[in-house]
């Protein structure tokens, strides 16, 4: 249900929020409004159909999509593929009621840019929205480790080719090991190069891919792994051995 009647400001980024109740949307909106000065809240939705309709109407830059909506406990997840096709440049933050590693993994597989847990303070949600607005990925270190573990356990990690990433072979090896949770020291030992060389390569990787942290790089590589075509198994333990 759309309740916002404000005139949209073209110079501000547009935010769509959703929750399973109208009250939930209202509370979220009130909590956010004082801390997102460069972002305009343009629409609120309580169902999957409303999320998609309002996304098409308002073309949001950021969408805060609750996993639980009025039409089902995972209705928010069902909207993600369609939402991406409707507004491909929209950065999605998935709102979860509780920590569930499978849902966290599924959120990043659906190319979410952040995962936020409802029990966290509203101040953290403001930080999350602002971080995603600035092009960052929002995920806690504990959740990232669980996501990496889940990916490594679900199937062998197939290293993507560098052709579509504009990375050298060495840069791709380093990026893959970062996604496996390896430190610079561990990477230097695995590839028989100095830590200084690892740091220099990481700097170039960040520039080429357009990320600003190891967390963002890890999520990026996980997404490439999930959607890249199969090119033969290369388990990470062999790369790190």
pLDDT digits (tens, 9 = 90+) for 77-108: 999 989 988 999 999 999 999 888 888 888 88
**CA-based nearest residue to 62, from 16, 12, 116, 117:** 16
CATH label of the domain that carries residue 217: 1.10.10.10
**CA-based nearest residue to 172, from 208, 212, 123, 128:** 208
Pairing of strands 39-45, 62-66: unpaired
The arithmetic mean of pLDDT across residues 166-186, rounded, is 86
Task: Give residue 153's pLDDT.
Answer: 60
Would you say residue 95 lies in a domain?
Answer: yes
- For the cut 80, the answer to whether the pLDDT of residue 154 exceeds it is no
Residue where a domain terminates, one of 111, 146, 181: 146
Residues in CB range of 126: below 8 A, 6 or more apart: 31, 32, 35, 36
Residues 50 and 128 in one domain: yes
Would you say residue 6 lies in a domain?
Answer: no
Under the banding of pLDDT at 50, 70 and 90, the label for residue 76 is very high
Would you say residue 4 lies in a domain?
Answer: no
Residues 168 and 64 in one domain: no
CATH label of the domain that carries residue 85: 3.40.50.2300
Residues 28 and 135 in one domain: yes
* 158 vs 93: which has the higher pLDDT: 93
Domain range spanning residue 97? 13-146
- For the cut 80, the answer to whether the pLDDT of residue 162 exceeds it is no
Would you say residue 54 lies in a domain?
Answer: yes
Q: Is 133 exposed, middle or buried (0-12, 13-18, 19+ CB in 10 A)?
A: middle
pTM of the model: 0.68
Residues 139 and 83 in one domain: yes
Residue where a domain terminates, one of 91, 115, 146: 146
Cα three-residue angle 95-50-46, rounded to 5 degrees:
50
Would you say residue 111 lies in a domain?
Answer: yes
Residues 127 and 209 in one domain: no
Under the banding of pLDDT at 50, 70 and 90, the label for residue 241 is very low
Q: How many domains does the chain have?
A: 2
Would you say residue 1 lies in a domain?
Answer: no
- For the cut 50, the answer to whether the pLDDT of residue 15 exceeds it is yes
Under the banding of pLDDT at 50, 70 and 90, the label for residue 237 is very low
**CA-based nearest residue to 3, from 22, 21, 20, 19:** 22
- For the cut 70, the answer to whether the pLDDT of residue 201 exceeds it is yes
The arithmetic mean of pLDDT across residues 38-54, rounded, is 95
Residues in CB range of 91: below 8 A, 6 or more apart: 61, 62, 63, 113, 114, 132, 133
| Averaged pLDDT of the chain | 82
Residues 142 and 195 in one domain: no
Residues 49 and 142 in one domain: yes
Residues 167 and 89 in one domain: no
Cα three-residue angle 156-160-166, rounded to 5 degrees:
160
User: Which parts of 71-182 fold into alpha helices (H)?
Assistant: 75-86, 101-109, 122-133, 141-154, 169-179
Would you say residue 208 lies in a domain?
Answer: yes
- For the cut 50, the answer to whether the pLDDT of residue 31 exceeds it is yes
Q: Which tens digits make up the pLDDT trace of 111-149?
A: 899 999 999 999 999 999 999 998 888 988 777 777 777
- For the cut 70, the answer to whether the pLDDT of residue 44 exceeds it is yes
Would you say residue 2 lies in a domain?
Answer: no
Task: Tell me the C-alpha distance between 231 and 164, whole Å.
Answer: 14
Residues 125 and 70 in one domain: yes
Residues 41 and 81 in one domain: yes
Residue where a domain terminates, one of 146, 169, 192: 146
Task: Give residue 198's pLDDT.
Answer: 92
Residues 141 and 213 in one domain: no
For 143, the token pair is 């959740």
For 149, the token pair is 């573990």
Residues 82 and 24 in one domain: yes
């Amino acid at each position: 249900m759309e309740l916002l009647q404000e005139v949209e400001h073209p110079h501000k980024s547009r935010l769509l929020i959703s929750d399973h109740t109208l009250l939930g949307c209202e509370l979220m909106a009130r909590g956010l409004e004082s801390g997102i000065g460069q972002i305009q809240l343009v629409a609120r939705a309580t169902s999957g159909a409303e999320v998609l309709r309002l996304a098409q109407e308002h073309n949001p830059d950021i969408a805060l999509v609750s996993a639980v909506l009025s039409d089902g406990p995972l209705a928010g997840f069902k909207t993600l593929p369609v939402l991406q096709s409707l507004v491909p440049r929209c950065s999605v933050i998935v709102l979860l009621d509780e920590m569930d590693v499978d849902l966290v993994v599924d959120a990043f597989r659906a190319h979410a840019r952040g995962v936020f847990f409802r029990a966290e303070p509203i101040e953290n949600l403001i930080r999350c929205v602002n971080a995603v607005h600035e092009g960052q990925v929002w995920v806690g270190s504990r959740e990232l480790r669980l996501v990496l573990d889940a990916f490594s356990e679900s199937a062998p990690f197939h290293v993507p080719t560098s052709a579509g990433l504009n990375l050298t072979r060495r840069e791709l090896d380093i990026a893959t090991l970062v996604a496996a949770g390896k430190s610079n020291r561990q990477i230097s030992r695995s590839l028989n190069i100095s830590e200084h060389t690892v740091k220099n390569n990481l700097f170039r990787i960040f520039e080429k891919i357009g990320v600003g942290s190891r967390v963002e790089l890890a999520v990026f590589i996980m997404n490439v792994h999930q959607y890249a075509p199969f090119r033969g198994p290369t388990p990470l333990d062999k790369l790190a051995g």
